[in-house]
Chain A
Amino acid sequence: MQGATAQQHASAYGVKYQARCIAPYVLDSQRTRFLVGTQSLREENEVHLITLPDNSSDIICEGLYTHQHEIWDLAVCPFDPQLISTVYASVGEYGAALWRIPDRSRGGYLNVLPLENVASLNGHTTTIKCTLWWPSGKHNQLLSIDSENLFIWDLVTEQRAAKIQARLSAGELHHMAGGAWDPHDVTKVATAVESSVVIWDLRSMKQSSRIEQAHAIQVRDIDFNPKREDILITSGDDSKIRVWDVKMPGMPLRELPGHSHWTWRVRYNPVYEELVLSAGTDSVVNLWHVTPVSSSSSSSQDSKPKSPYGSPKGPLDSLMRAYTEHEDSVYGIAWSARDPWVFASLSYDGRVMVDSVPQNVRQKITNRGKP
């Protein structure tokens, strides 16, 4: 692992305003980079491009771009790192737009440049929750989710426009709070609908399955397992973290205690599915080790059970480390796109912490991989 020698100590960075969203800067083999979007109601907001050099523990701001409105969600295009999408709000009016990060060479280092608007995703009528890019590879499609609808957009970069390709209405009583696009089956999107998780089929534009009572009160976040089909992880207001098999919506495969208050975000490590990162309103970032679950549907891909430890909630599902450096609710976490041992977390007070997986956990996981 390149960078395995790197920081055991957390690196900190602060943005001026309150902030909720952080995203890994993908397709970058050179550096560990993240994008942070601020959420300030009354000021002009910013998007910070920060990087963590290999030989240093100081986070450097590589680019600072202005964004008029407060940013509620931020996503980076998986094939073009210069392209990002944001969900923003201005005095209660929500909007979503695609932006191009201006070329640094033009602006020079640390010059503040505005983001270049590529296209606006107009058409939403209610609160927009998030935008989702095509999960992998180059494909000019993205999703945007508001509390009642799900839009599929075709992106025409040349014309600097986005066209509505399809629209899926979940109904007025569905209060969608977020979602995730299945990387194994691009026709599937999971959305958090109050206390349930709903899986939509994008071909038929219908609900394909549903996990009832995934969390009490509200499901806050969903993430698909990057290695196994039909496995997803959820977090919610009952502070728990649960792993589900979409094929068996009755019972969670795993349950982790989560946080002391709401568990806001939960993310699978993109390389090591055992590693799960979660963040909560109790200001803590937790690193979990979750024993892999063999998916019931995809028995063909892996005939022998990968987990020798049969029972759910086994002793190996454990909290590996709690990161308590934050002092306000943590709303954003992101694994580095380059080094799978590195991750960043963002608390509401604007503090970004870049941490790495402890050495003993790395050893445990890499040893597991070997037969």
Chain B
Amino acid sequence: MAGTEEMDEKAKRMRALLSSFYGEDAGSQPATPVRRDTLQGINMPDFDSDRYIQSLLRRTPLEGLLQKHVEMAAEIKNLDSDMQMLVYENYNKFISATDTIRRMKENVAGIESNMDQLLETVTAVRAKSDSINSSLCERREKIEELNGTRSLLRKIQFIFDLPKRLRACLKSQEYAKAVKYYMGAFPILKAYGNTSFAACREESEQIIDTVSHNLQAQVADNSIALETRAEAVKLLRQLQYPVDKMVESYISTHWPRLMAALQVVEPETPGLVGRLQGWFKSGTKKLEEQTEGLDPTSPRTSMEVLNKDFIADFTQTAITYRALFPEEDERLTEAALKLFNEYFANVQKSLQPKTGNPSIMELTAALNILSQDTGVLLKLVPDAGLPEMTERAIEKAIQQHVVAMFSDLYNRITGSLVIQEPASTKDGEEAKNQKALRAALDNAKRVILFDSVELLRDLRDLLEKCGGLLETWRDSYVDLVQGGFQELFTKLNNHFIHISSSSQDQLISSKSQTASQGLVLMLALLSVYIQQTAVPKITEVIGASFVGGGAMGFEARPAFVPSEVCRIFYASGEKFLHEYIDTQARKVSILIRKSVETPNWLKYKEPRDVRMFADLLLQEVTRVQLEVEQVLDQGSNRSHRRTDSAGSGGSSRSNAASMRESSNMREAGNHRGSFTARARSRLLERDVAKLFKQKVELFTKIEFTQASVMSTIIKMCLKTFQECVRLQTFNRSGYNQIQVDALYLRDNLREKVFDNETVVDSLLDEVCSAAADRCIDPVPLETAILDRLIEAKKAKGS
């Protein structure tokens, strides 16, 4: 073995040498096929020693061979000695094994006799044991029988002793023991009670009845310690006393009181409210003392009262119940549910008092009390669905609160619209009236914006403060708030329309309702205000604090659509402004109509003065102007000239028409020559301008400016004037009268239409030319007379 190891080592050494000679490649190629002619493969089966020798002889020099020879000789010698050693050792081992086997053989020889002896002994023991057993068997049965008889006798003894024992227990009030004894004997009494133990049974049952009575009394007695009572209940249950009945009786004794406690709060609430209103009821004195220093109508107070009376009582009752009837929870839950229904009905009422809307603080406080209270109740009665009920109550309360706040806001806004009306009607003085309009407008604006924002702030506070309570339906809450605004504005718009149409009706029925007309103007401006200022602001606030929503699902539209509201109010604003202008223009038009239709123009006398209608007209226009001035911006001095003649209609006659007209007027004489030189030159200028340049637009788009409103009204009126004149036939004096009126109006109206004075000029010119057209003898009044009449009028006026 050592030899092979050595050979291995040698081979390894050789390999190492070779690999160092061949460089690192050899190391990396350990699997190179073994060369047959090297010593490397000497251990291989196919090692060809002859070839190895041959190659050795061939390659190695003599010296090397010699050395190899020496080496080999040494190796052979080594191997020989090793082999000798091995043989010797093997032999040695073999000899020692033979010795051991011999010794074993000697030892085993004595065992056999010993074993036989042991078997005999065991057999004898067994025989003896069997004999003892059989002899004892008879006696044992007897003893067992005797033993059974003895225990039976003892039991019978116990039963006969039972009444006595029970009585003793009763005396010492050891009910537990009594029940134990009785229950021990119960099976026997039940089985044999009708025969041998009848007397005994009767007696003990009587005693047990007494015991049960006493126990019941104990249960019902509030003064006894709760443990004792619970123990008594337990005993009664053991006695198979119907505990349900007791539960019922317990509930029926306590529930009416609790109900009463709830109902106590109820009638007092209106009383409390009443106190605020001045008709205090004496019955609430006690309560008043309790709630000293608190606002009696507030929900917090009601909640607190509810808390004091009911919650405490209920807690007590429920704890007792729990202790007494630990196994009857369901019944408690069932009964408690009834109470809670009543309780929440009360809570609902107190959260939403009939009069007034509680402040956020109060509501929050009340809700917190409620959640605390219900927390207490929940611990007592976990299965009565309290969290749901609480949630529902809070949701409902907040919903009602929000709705109430919105309706309150609506009422305030509509109130701000209506209240000022009679006041301003009463005011005879024009200026005061106007101020009232302005004030009312500002007031209404303030109410709309500030109150809305305030409402939002309140609602946001509510959301923050009751965040925990609202968690589950936050989205619905946001929807509620947004929807509230949508509804508010829709309702407002309807209200506006209602007011405006009713004021329209008033106008038809009774002619002058200046205040309500101012109201229509105010509505128009309010609509614009809502559209331009209030809604964006409110949208902003909503966006800041009421994000989310959409509890109704994605396909449903959002609850608050500012663009829609804006659109509605934009349309309404335009409509109201149109209505205002129409109404004002119509009033003036009626004046003009009457003034043109009433006289018999064919028999008209020479004009002596400007007719009264002109003053009335101016007065009316001034009134409108005062109204308009108060609330509208002045507006730009935008010219109504237009370069685009293809624009929409409503233009006064243009160059062609005026040319035709002037040709028409040929034989009527140059009636314009009768005006002052100033007027004439201006007229000429205008005619030339008309010829070459532009039309004056009669009916332009109305804007929310003084200029636009005033000029529209005046244009409408003067157009009416012209149309009315066209329907008449005049004599010369009639025509002259129209001239006088028109000239007077011209001077006075020009300053009212400050965006484009040529409108007045050209329209009044057309009135005059229409009169000339319709005149059988159109000779214009002399300028001097005309001027004198106007001067006289002015002098009279001033």
By a CB distance below 8 angstroms, the chain A residues around B776 are 41-42, 91
What are 16 A-B contacts defined by CB distance under 8 Å? A42-B776, A217-B590, A238-B586, A239-B582, A260-B650, A261-B650, A261-B698, A262-B723, A282-B698, A284-B648, A284-B650, A322-B649, A324-B647, A326-B649, A348-B726, A349-B653
Q: How far is the CA of A89 from the CA of B648 in the complex (A)?
A: 35
By a CB distance below 8 angstroms, the chain B residues around A282 are 649-650, 698-699, 719
Q: How far is the CA of A74 from the CA of B508 in the complex (A)?
A: 34
Q: How far is the CA of A283 from the CA of B650 in the complex (A)?
A: 6
Asked whether A349 lies within 8 Å of B589 as measured between CB atoms, the reply is no
Q: Does A237 contact B (CB under 8 A)?
A: yes
Asked whether A217 lies within 8 Å of B593 as measured between CB atoms, the reply is yes
Q: Known A41-B773, A281-B719, A283-B649; judge A327-B586 contact (CB<8 A).
A: no
Q: How far is the CA of A239 from the CA of B657 in the complex (A)?
A: 24
Q: How far is the CA of A150 from the CA of B582 in the complex (A)?
A: 33
Q: How far is the CA of A288 from the CA of B720 in the complex (A)?
A: 24
Please give the distance in Å from A11's CB to the nearest CB on chain B.
Answer: 17
Centre residue among B589, B602, B775 by max chain A CB count within 10 A: B589
Asked whether B586 lies within 8 Å of A92 as measured between CB atoms, the reply is no
By a CB distance below 8 angstroms, the chain A residues around B648 are 284, 322, 324
By a CB distance below 8 angstroms, the chain A residues around B349 are none
Q: Does B249 contact A (CB under 8 A)?
A: no
**Which 7 pairs between the two chains have the least Cβ-Cβ distance?**
A284-B649, A260-B699, A324-B649, A282-B650, A327-B657, A92-B602, A327-B653
By a CB distance below 8 angstroms, the chain B residues around A261 are 650, 698-699, 716, 719-720, 723
Q: Does A66 contact B (CB under 8 A)?
A: no
Residue numbers of A with Cβ under 8 A of B are 17-18, 41-42, 89, 91-92, 213, 216-217, 237-239, 260-262, 281-284, 322, 324, 326-329, 348-350
Centre residue among B647, B652, B773 by max chain A CB count within 10 A: B773
Asked whether B656 lies within 8 Å of A217 as measured between CB atoms, the reply is no
Asked whether A89 lies within 8 Å of B729 as measured between CB atoms, the reply is yes
CB nearest to A329 among chain B residues = B723
Asked whether A349 lies within 8 Å of B586 as measured between CB atoms, the reply is no
Q: How many pairs of residues, A versus B, come closer than 8 Å at their CB atoms?
A: 78
Q: Known A42-B776, A238-B586; judge A349-B661 contact (CB<8 A).
A: yes
Asked whether B656 lies within 8 Å of A327 as measured between CB atoms, the reply is yes
Q: How far is the CA of A327 from the CA of B647 in the complex (A)?
A: 13
Chain A, interface SS category: loop
Q: How far is the CA of A261 from the CA of B713 in the complex (A)?
A: 11
Q: How far is the CA of A237 from the CA of B588 in the complex (A)?
A: 13
By a CB distance below 8 angstroms, the chain B residues around A238 are 582, 586
Q: How far is the CA of A41 from the CA of B725 in the complex (A)?
A: 13
Q: How far is the CA of A27 from the CA of B589 in the complex (A)?
A: 42
Asked whether B723 lies within 8 Å of A92 as measured between CB atoms, the reply is no
By a CB distance below 8 angstroms, the chain A residues around B656 are 327
Q: Does B774 contact A (CB under 8 A)?
A: yes
Q: Does B457 contact A (CB under 8 A)?
A: no
Contact of A327 among B651, B773, B774 (CB under 8 A): B651
Q: How far is the CA of A322 from the CA of B667 in the complex (A)?
A: 36
Q: Known A261-B699, A261-B719, A281-B723; judge A217-B589 contact (CB<8 A).
A: yes
**In the complex, given contacts A217-B593, A260-B649, A281-B719, what are 6 additional A-B residue pairs having Cβ atoms less than 8 angstroms apart?**
A217-B589, A262-B723, A282-B649, A282-B719, A324-B647, A327-B652
Contact of B508 among A216, A262, A327 (CB under 8 A): A216
By a CB distance below 8 angstroms, the chain A residues around B593 are 217
Q: Does B320 contact A (CB under 8 A)?
A: no
By a CB distance below 8 angstroms, the chain A residues around B646 are 324
Please give the distance in Å from B278's CB to the nearest CB on chain A.
Answer: 48
By a CB distance below 8 angstroms, the chain B residues around A324 are 646-649, 651
Please give the distance in Å from A286's CB to the nearest CB on chain B.
Answer: 9
Asked whether A91 lies within 8 Å of B729 as measured between CB atoms, the reply is yes
Q: How far is the CA of A260 from the CA of B697 in the complex (A)?
A: 12
Q: Known A281-B719, A284-B650, A327-B656; judge A237-B729 contact (CB<8 A).
A: no
Q: How far is the CA of A299 from the CA of B481 in the complex (A)?
A: 48
CB nearest to A285 among chain B residues = B649
Q: How far is the CA of A41 from the CA of B771 in the complex (A)?
A: 11
Q: How far is the CA of A322 from the CA of B652 in the complex (A)?
A: 16
Centre residue among B649, B657, B776 by max chain A CB count within 10 A: B649
Q: Does B654 contact A (CB under 8 A)?
A: yes
Asked whether A237 lies within 8 Å of B589 as measured between CB atoms, the reply is yes
Cβ < 8 Å to A, chain B residues 691-737: 698-699, 716, 719-720, 723, 726, 729
Q: Known A261-B716, A261-B723; judge A217-B773 contact (CB<8 A).
A: no
Cβ < 8 Å to A, chain B residues 159-189: none
CB nearest to B723 among chain A residues = A281
Please give the distance in Å from B342's CB to the nearest CB on chain A.
Answer: 49
Please give the distance in Å from B86's CB to the nearest CB on chain A.
Answer: 123
Q: Does B660 contact A (CB under 8 A)?
A: yes
Q: Known A42-B776, A217-B586, A327-B656; judge A92-B729 contact (CB<8 A).
A: yes
CB nearest to B597 among chain A residues = A175
Please give the distance in Å from A33's CB to the nearest CB on chain B.
Answer: 25
Q: Known A41-B773, A42-B776, A91-B602; judge A216-B723 contact (CB<8 A).
A: no
Asked whether B657 lies within 8 Å of A328 as measured between CB atoms, the reply is yes
Q: How far is the CA of A189 from the CA of B589 in the complex (A)?
A: 29
Asked whether A260 lies within 8 Å of B698 as measured between CB atoms, the reply is yes
CB nearest to B658 among chain A residues = A327
Q: How far is the CA of A143 from the CA of B102 in the complex (A)?
A: 169
By a CB distance below 8 angstroms, the chain B residues around A327 are 651-654, 656-657
Asked whether B651 lies within 8 Å of A283 as measured between CB atoms, the reply is yes
CB nearest to A72 among chain B residues = B727
By a CB distance below 8 angstroms, the chain A residues around B649 are 260, 282-284, 322, 324, 326
CB nearest to A240 among chain B residues = B582
Asked whether B582 lies within 8 Å of A41 as measured between CB atoms, the reply is no
Q: How far is the CA of A27 from the CA of B649 in the complex (A)?
A: 34
Please give the distance in Å from A137's CB to the nearest CB on chain B.
Answer: 34
| 0/1 interface trace, chain B 643-683, chain A, CB 8 Å (1 if under) | 00011111111101100110010010000000000000000
Q: How far is the CA of A213 from the CA of B723 in the complex (A)?
A: 22
Asked whether A18 lies within 8 Å of B773 as measured between CB atoms, the reply is yes
Asked whether A41 lies within 8 Å of B775 as measured between CB atoms, the reply is yes
Q: How far is the CA of A348 from the CA of B729 in the complex (A)?
A: 16
Please give the distance in Å from A123's CB to the nearest CB on chain B.
Answer: 21
CB nearest to A20 among chain B residues = B726
| 0/1 interface trace, chain B 485-497, chain A, CB 8 Å (1 if under) | 0000000000000
By a CB distance below 8 angstroms, the chain A residues around B652 are 327
Please give the distance in Å from B649's CB to the nearest CB on chain A.
Answer: 4
By a CB distance below 8 angstroms, the chain B residues around A216 are 508, 586
Q: How far is the CA of A89 from the CA of B776 in the complex (A)?
A: 12
By a CB distance below 8 angstroms, the chain A residues around B664 are 17-18
CB nearest to B655 among chain A residues = A327
By a CB distance below 8 angstroms, the chain B residues around A348 are 726
Q: How far is the CA of A327 from the CA of B766 in the complex (A)?
A: 13
By a CB distance below 8 angstroms, the chain B residues around A284 are 648-650
Q: How far is the CA of A331 from the CA of B660 in the complex (A)?
A: 18
By a CB distance below 8 angstroms, the chain B residues around A42 are 667, 776
Q: How far is the CA of A239 from the CA of B654 in the complex (A)?
A: 23
Asked whether A328 lies within 8 Å of B653 as measured between CB atoms, the reply is yes
| 0/1 interface trace, chain B 249-283, chain A, CB 8 Å (1 if under) | 00000000000000000000000000000000000
CB nearest to B661 among chain A residues = A349
Q: How far is the CA of A324 from the CA of B667 in the complex (A)?
A: 31
Cβ < 8 Å to A, chain B residues 592-614: 593, 602
Q: How far is the CA of A118 from the CA of B720 in the complex (A)?
A: 37
Q: How far is the CA of A238 from the CA of B586 in the complex (A)?
A: 8
Please give the distance in Å from B42's CB to the nearest CB on chain A.
Answer: 114
Asked whether B729 lies within 8 Å of A41 as measured between CB atoms, the reply is yes
Q: How far is the CA of A324 from the CA of B646 in the complex (A)?
A: 8
